[in-house]
Each structure stands twice: as C-alpha cells, then as structure tokens.
Structure 1
C-alpha cells in the first residue's frame, strides 16, 4: 500500500462509526492540507478505484458525483480478527474499552472500534459455563476515582486528530486558542507541538513558539480551531516531556521551590503515606495516635490543595512560611464560619 493510499484511508469516513461519505473533490481538498507533492485529481480517483477493488473502500453514486467511504474494519486488524479472536483477547479488549476512562485513551481508541465490536460479539457467543465466565468478568470489576467527580469539558475529535497528527509527524500546528480571559479570540497562531499531557481530567498541549525559549501549555478544550500544516519542524533534542512534567513539575501549578515538609497527622489521616510515600526521602514516626511525616517536596498550589483536603487532621510543622500561610487561612475560615 502506498503513502497516498494510507492518507486516503485516514481521511475517509469509516463505515463502522460514521454514516457519511466524501465526494472525490472534497476528499482531494482535505488531502491537499496534509500531503506534500499532491498528485492530480484523476490520480486520486484511480487510487480510490483500486482501493474499492481491494475491498477497502465503498463507493456510491449520487447523480454525477462519486462518493466514497472506508469499509468497516478496513484498517487491517479487525478484518483479520473476527475468526481468530479467542476469549482471552476479547476479554482484554472489552476491559480496555470499559476502563479507559481518561480522555486521551478514549480519543485514540476510536480507531479500535471495529475490534471492540468484534470482541463484544465474541463474548456474547458462549457455548459452555467456562466461556460464560469470561462474559461475566467485566461486570465484576470497577474503577473509581479517589477525587471529587467533576464533569470535564469534552475535546473536539477532529481537532484532537489534527493536534495528534501534527505531534506525530512533527509538523507545525496552526491553532486559535481561547483562554478564559479572551473567549472571543479569533487570532490564529502557529506553534510547534512537543507533547500531550492529561492532568486531572484536562488535556494539555505542550508546544513551543518560534523565538521563545520555554514551551507553553494549551488546554485542548479551549482550541476553537486546529490545523496541521505541511511545514515540518525539528523536534528539540534537549526537550524531555517526562522531565517537563515530573522533574520540573510544570503541572503542579505555580511551582516555587523544594522544601522540607514536616507534618503531624491525627485520626489515621496520613496512614496511606506509609504505603504511598510523598517523597523518596520520606521518614515517618509514630507517637500514640499521631503520625509524624517529613520529606522533601516541591512547594506548589497542588501541594496546598492536598494539605487542605485533610482539614483539621493535619498540622504543618514546617516550613514556617507555609505553616503561617495556612494558619492565616484557618483564621479567615474561622471568621467566616464563626458568624
């Protein structure tokens, strides 16, 4: 299969998930935004005819217009999987579908939808008690977030496709971004996509800008438009998304500096830290019902939110500046609730 065939299959609507068709001219216009050295319209039509002959594309005629869409399962795996998928594989796929609750896995899993359907059918066709145990397994497992459940804004699938394509192919990306303070913005800008990060249900694009030293974070749900450009860029050799997220702590919100955090917990509030430490150098001691914990952490807004979640069951012993800050907050709360 040629590169242009792969591009045609990428752009065409999938009969498995969409009830739409594309005319040859419409398909050609979409390909022009993504393919360098674009062949002629007649050449594209010849490619479509060959793909239809190979059973990968469906064709319909509406008046004098030729309409096209990708055949369900034409991506390859699904076409081969129906007869060969065993119960272990079907169960694995159904579990993946059910528990991929984060937005990025959910968005990228659309390409696997024919496989999910085959897996669901496979699990329904049971012939004995052993096979029926597979079909009941998914109803015996649940996953629940430990935080307060919020309804996060959804991300436009087409825009996500443009962003992820530009990121994968290391192309420049044109976006129109509407932050909270400028929700009517219509000015487009060109950015260099470095990575995608999901934090607490929100998905961010980490992107560079020509002439700026540091990357910028853009929330994907605030993009009103995204378009992968033909122009490529050189991905910075010294940039590490892992370091940006985990070492520089850029998603901890208003990161300040490392501090030695000293805490006193009561009523078993901090007992989970005995199994899930807050730092690599964490030390814990007990004194009756009190648990004393200390460790080196990054001072940030996220750390403050975490400490506040324990209410009166935690006392910050150090650093002194953080203790004074939270004491002032507690006094303000006492004034509010004290009437």
Structure 2
C-alpha cells in the first residue's frame, strides 16, 4: 500500500462507525491539504478504484459524483483481531474508549474506531458467568473531574489532523489564528509546531516563531485555518515540552516567581494537603483544629484562583504582598455584597 493509499484510507469515513460517504473531490481536498507533492483528482480516483477492487473501500453514486467510505474492519489490524481478541483485551479497549474523555485522546481515537467496534462485539458475545462479568465491568467504574465543568468549543478534526501531522513530520505550519481580541483575523503566520498540551479541557499548540526566543501558546479551537508547508524545520534540541509545562509552569498563567506560601486553614478545608502536598518542601502543623501549611510554590494566577476557591476557610499568612492583595479583594467583595 502506497503512502497516498494510506492517506486516502485515513481520510475515509469508517462504515463500522459512520454512515456518511465522501465524494472524490472531498477526499482529494483532505489528502492534499498538507501533501508534499501535488496530486490530481484523477490520481485520487484511480487509487480509490484500486482500493475498491482490493475490498478495502466501498462506493456509491452521489448525484453525478462518486462517493466512498472505508469498509468496516478494513484497517487490517481490526480484521486480524476479530477472531483472536481475548476478553481481557476487549475490556481494556472498551475501558480506554469510555474514559478517554479528554479532547486529544478523543481526536486520535478515530484511528482505533474499528478496534473499538471489534472489542464491543467481543464483549457482547459473553456466555459464561465469568465472561458476563467482563461485560458489566465498564458500568462499574466512573471518572469525574474535581473542578467546575465548562463546555469548551470543539476542535475541528481536520485542523487537528493537519496540526498533529505537521508536528509529527516537523514541518512548518501556516495558520490563521483568531484570538478573542481579533476574532476576524485573516492574516496568516508561520509557526514551528513544538507540542500539543491539554489543560482543563482546552488544547494548545505550542509553536515557535523564527527570530523569537520564546514559543507561543495557541488554542486549537481558535485556529481558523492550518496548512502544513513542504519546508521542514530542525526541532530545537534546547526545547523540552516536559520542562515547559512542569518546571516553567507556563500553564499556570502569568507566572511571576517562587514564594514561600504560608496558609492557615479552618474547618478541615486544607486536610487534603496532608495526602496531596502543594509543594515538595511542604511543612504542616495543627493546633486547636487549625491547620498550618507552608511550602515553596510558583506565584501565578492559577495559585490565586486556587486560594480564592476556599473562601473564608483559608488565610494567607505570607508572603505579605499576596496577603495584602487578597485582603484588598476581600474588602472590595464586602463592599459589593454589603450594598
């Protein structure tokens, strides 16, 4: 199977999970939007005809055009797995499908859609009491976010495919980005894709700009257009996504500096910190039902949001500047609600 055949197969809807077909021009648009070499519609149509003859795709007439989709189980791996998948493997796949609730796993799970269907069918064929317990397992496990849930804008799957492929192939990416303060932007810019990060339901592209020392974060749901360029780039050895996220704390928003945070909790509000410390050097003590906690943390907007979530059940004892800032906010709130 050629690279173009694989691109066509990835672009086609899977009959196992989708009812729709794509016309030849629609398939051509998908497979050529980031292609290195020009490909004509006739070439795509010729490859589709060969794939149909091989029993991998199916075709129907759509007006005067031809429309196509991938046959159920035609991904090869799913077809081979159908007759030999164990209940353990089927359960693992169905659990993965159910609990991959974040956007990145959901977007990349399309590649496994036929495997998920095979796993589902395998569990539905449970006969013995042991096999039936496998079938019931997924309904016995749940995952719930600890924060207040917001409905974030969905990410365009085609744009995600372009971005993730450019990231994988280390190719420059031309994007049109529309931030909140410039929602009608039409000016393209070229970025060097360095990584994808999901934070609290939002997915960000970390992109470098030639001539600038620091990369920029772009929310994927605000991408209006994306096109991978033929020109590759050298992925910077000095950049570490893990360090960018975990050590530099770039997603803590408006990171300032490290501070020694000293807190006083009442009514057991901070007891969870005894099991999940806020800092590696955390120290705690308690007296008369009051919990005192201190540790070195990064001062940021996210830290402030966390402290505000405790309301009057936490008092910031230090640093003095943060205490004064939150005291001023509390006074303003008192005036607001007092009125």
TM-score by length of 1: 0.93
The answer to which of 305-314 and 111-120 deviates more is: 111-120
Alignment of 1:126-165 (within 5 A): 126-165=126-165
Instruction: Confirm or deny: 8 A CA contact 2:21 2:67 kept in the other structure.
Output: no
**Cα separation, partners in 2 of 1:160 and 1:234, compared to 1, 3 Å:** same
Gaps of 5+ in 2: none
Q: Secondary structure at the match of 1:245?
A: helix
**Cα separation, partners in 2 of 1:61 and 1:148, compared to 1, 3 Å:** closer
Instruction: Confirm or deny: 8 A CA contact 2:78 2:118 kept in the other structure.
Output: yes
Alignment of 1:179-194 (within 5 A): 179-194=179-194
Question: What is the total number of aligned residue pairs between the two structures?
Answer: 338
Residue 221 of structure 2 corresponds to 221
Instruction: Confirm or deny: 8 A CA contact 1:12 1:22 kept in the other structure.
Output: no
The answer to whether residue 20 in structure 2 is matched with residue 19 in structure 1 is: yes
The answer to whether residue 252 in structure 2 is matched with residue 252 in structure 1 is: yes
The answer to which of 284-293 and 301-310 deviates more is: 284-293
Q: Secondary structure at the match of 1:163?
A: helix
Q: Secondary structure at the match of 1:90?
A: helix
Please report how far the alpha carbon of residue 74 of structure 1 lies from its aligned counterpart in structure 2 after TM superposition.
2.3
Instruction: Confirm or deny: 8 A CA contact 2:75 2:114 kept in the other structure.
Output: no
The answer to which of 40-49 and 280-289 deviates more is: 40-49
Q: Deviations over 1:83-134 (max 9, x none)?
A: 1112111111111111111111111112211111222222122212211111
Residue 209 of structure 2 corresponds to 209
Please report how far the alpha carbon of residue 167 of structure 1 lies from its aligned counterpart in structure 2 after TM superposition.
1.0
Please report how far the alpha carbon of residue 215 of structure 1 lies from its aligned counterpart in structure 2 after TM superposition.
0.6
Instruction: Confirm or deny: 8 A CA contact 2:32 2:38 kept in the other structure.
Output: yes
Instruction: Confirm or deny: 8 A CA contact 1:152 1:202 kept in the other structure.
Output: yes
- In structure 2, what is the Cα distance between the partners aligned to 1:134 and 1:26? 41
- In structure 1, what is the Cα distance between the partners aligned to 2:258 and 2:80? 53
Alignment of 1:83-98 (within 5 A): 83-98=83-98
- In structure 1, what is the Cα distance between the partners aligned to 2:98 and 2:233? 37
CA RMSD of aligned residues (A): 2.0
Please report how far the alpha carbon of residue 27 of structure 1 lies from its aligned counterpart in structure 2 after TM superposition.
4.0
**Cα separation, partners in 2 of 1:184 and 1:40, compared to 1, 3 Å:** closer
**Cα separation, partners in 2 of 1:148 and 1:40, compared to 1, 3 Å:** closer
**Cα separation, partners in 2 of 1:22 and 1:231, compared to 1, 3 Å:** farther
Please report how far the alpha carbon of residue 249 of structure 1 lies from its aligned counterpart in structure 2 after TM superposition.
0.8
Instruction: Confirm or deny: 8 A CA contact 2:34 2:227 kept in the other structure.
Output: no
Please report how far the alpha carbon of residue 41 of structure 1 lies from its aligned counterpart in structure 2 after TM superposition.
6.2
Please report how far the alpha carbon of residue 39 of structure 1 lies from its aligned counterpart in structure 2 after TM superposition.
6.3
Alignment of 1:56-67 (within 5 A): 56-60=56-60, 66-67=66-67
- In structure 2, what is the Cα distance between the partners aligned to 1:131 and 1:230? 51
The answer to whether residue 98 in structure 2 is matched with residue 113 in structure 1 is: no
Gaps of 5+ in 1: none
Q: Secondary structure at the match of 2:252?
A: coil
TM-score by length of 2: 0.93
**Cα separation, partners in 2 of 1:200 and 1:40, compared to 1, 3 Å:** closer
Residue 336 of structure 1 corresponds to 336
Instruction: Confirm or deny: 8 A CA contact 1:33 1:229 kept in the other structure.
Output: no
